[in-house]
Amino acid sequence: MIWSMFYRIGLIGVLISIGTGILAQAGQSTGSELAFPWDLVMGRMLTETRLGMIWLARLGLAMLSVWVYSRNASPLRDWSGFAANLALLFTVTLTSHAATEARPFLPMLLIGSI
């Protein structure tokens, strides 16, 4: 019971941090601290850049984790939640310095395992 409460709090924190991160990333493009969600730069950053697509994937995976968590308890739910959270962690690696290498697979794999 206590672990499900920690997991729920963690998912809420992840969703809040993703939303704040998207606003901060778009804000850096304009030279301000945070962008407004309805700002034109925000939409362009999310749809026209690789980083924006990764942020959208991160948001989608976090929402998938919330949906999987809301299902009935079963081994399939646990494993699919684990896979969704693992993919969510991998999106952090996609925005790391290792992703800029000429052959990024091995450096990204090593950073993702740390």
Model confidence pLDDT, tens digit, residues 80-102 = 888 888 888 888 877 776 667 66
**Digit-coded pLDDT (tens) for 34-83:** 777 677 777 777 788 878 888 888 888 988 888 888 778 788 888 888 88
For residue 80, the enclosing domain spans 2-113
Amino acid at 56: L
C-alpha angle with apex 70: 1 to 4, nearest 5 degrees?
20
pTM tops 0.85: no
C-alpha angle with apex 63: 114 to 49, nearest 5 degrees?
70
Domain total of the chain: 1
Q: Which residue has the tokens 């989608």?
A: 60
Q: Are 34 and 24 in contact (CB under 8 A)?
A: yes
